[in-house]
Amino acid sequence: MMRYLGLDVGDRHIGIAISDPTGTIARPLETLDHTSTQGDFAAIASLVDEHDVGLVVVGRPFSLDGTVGPQARRVDGYTEGLAAHLEVPVVQWDERFSTEAAHEILLKTRKEPGRRRARASGEIDAIAAAVILQSYLDSLADPGSQLR
């Protein structure tokens, strides 16, 4: 049994999700506002320790056609720095359509849509992180579902 942490790294916020102790179900945990890279890494390391996380999954924003664009390269560098800062493994996972899926989840669970408010507050980023992490967890149960 292992807990996983999922990250949706954006320009202003980092959405964070956590799995249950069995590593089966992901849920939104919180959203960090970017302070500095080192500040982000320290906050994430603290969450890894606090929740006894064994692996961190970072969403990698491929272009819709599957190519690596500027945003994916930026996240690659961030992920590399984070991996050097943490004592647990860090992997990347395709995050295409995670934000759209998060918006769908919000629309289904809210009485008032509030899409703009959810984006401004960063709430959508934590939900997107949960979508990314759940996709990764599901792939562990079905290894042929996506290359890691």
The range of the structural domain enclosing residue 63 comes to 3-141
Which of 78, 98, 102 lies closest to 90, judged by CA? 78
Q: What is the pLDDT of residue 141?
A: 83
pTM: 0.81
pLDDT greater than 80 at residue 7: yes
Q: Is residue 116 part of a domain?
A: yes
Q: What is the pLDDT of residue 120?
A: 47
The tally of domains found in the chain comes to 1
Q: What DSSP letter does each residue of the chain carry, written as one string?
A: --EEEEEEE-SSEEEEEEE-TTS--EEEEEEEEP--HHHHHHHHHHHHHHTTEEEEEEEE---TTS---HHHHHHHHHHHHHHHH-SS-EEEEE-TTHHHHHHHHHHHH-SS--HHHHHHHTHHHHHHHHHHHHHHHHHHHSTTSS--
Q: Is residue 148 part of a domain?
A: no
Q: Average pLDDT, stretch 6-29? A: 95
83-135 per-position pLDDT tens digit: 999 999 999 998 865 556 555 656 565 555 544 544 445 688 899 999 999 99
pLDDT greater than 80 at residue 65: no
